[in-house]
Chains A and B, each alone.
Chain A
Amino acid sequence: GDSVTQMEGPVTLSEEAFLTINCTYTATGYPSLFWYVQYPGEGLQLLLKATKADDKGSNKGFEATYRKETTSFHLEKGSVQVSDSAVYFCALTNQAGTALIFGKGTTLSVSS
């Protein structure tokens, strides 16, 4: 079945460092891909998404490009801030949008 694999955490970085969180997927058809973020004490929020190959999703300085050839959707940010400390989930959905399939989540901790 469809699945998402993302890198194990925690990821610990200093402020202004470059961030990459790897995400690869297995799916039939052409899924849409998502990154969600969960800040401490809050619900998951959609961070960015891409709906077709080569699309780049971006938001709040984060980017991810839908790579069909490598079945990847890696999350990147050029300069992280302490406020980016959170858990990040990669996810995909089927074409009907009736279900979300998540990765295990990666905890990011940024120190000043």
Chain B
Amino acid sequence: GAVVSQHPSWVICKSGTSVKIECRSLDFQATTMFWYRQFPKQSLMLMATSNEGSKATYEQGVEKDKFLINHASLTLSTLTVTSAHPEDSSFYICSAGQGYATEAFFGQGTRLTVV
């Protein structure tokens, strides 16, 4: 099946710094990428949907200036958590596909801890 690679798998950063998470489709072109977040003991929640070459669409309650999403190519999308705070500590997962969320392939996730 299609492979989606997410990097890094885990990261620890200091409060106030920015962290970039990469999501790559290794063997197919992903026109659409989805970013999810999962807090401990909570559901996996969709943060935003990005289409290659256009601005991401953010879900209600997600701060677009804090979670910068770039989808500049058909194989790479990045999520940058700017000025991270401990409450941003979470598990971030991307999925990549060619339109429908149900047909996208998932990365392995990134565990972010802000200290």
Chain A positions within 8 Å of B, measured between CB atoms, are 4, 32, 34, 36, 38, 41-46, 49, 89, 93, 97-105
Please state if A32 and B108 are interface contacts (CB–CB under 8 Å). no
Chain B residue nearest in CB terms to A100: B101
Which chain B residues in 12-65 approach chain A with CB under 8 Å? 34, 36, 38, 41-46, 49
Shortest distance in angstroms between A87's beta carbon and chain B's nearest beta carbon?
A: 10
Please state if B43 and A104 are interface contacts (CB–CB under 8 Å). yes
Please state if A89 and B100 are interface contacts (CB–CB under 8 Å). no
Please state if A98 and B106 are interface contacts (CB–CB under 8 Å). no
A101 to B42, CA, bound (A): 12
Please state if A44 and B101 are interface contacts (CB–CB under 8 Å). no
> What residues on B are CB-neighbors of A98 within 8 Å?
49, 100-101
Please state if B100 and A97 are interface contacts (CB–CB under 8 Å). yes
Please state if B108 and A43 are interface contacts (CB–CB under 8 Å). yes
Shortest distance in angstroms between A30's beta carbon and chain B's nearest beta carbon?
A: 14
> What residues on A are CB-neighbors of B49 within 8 Å?
98-99
Known: A43-B93, A93-B101, A97-B100. A103 touches B108 (CB 8 A): no
A49 to B100, CA, bound (A): 15
> What residues on A are CB-neighbors of B36 within 8 Å?
102
Known: A43-B6, A43-B105. A99 touches B43 (CB 8 A): no
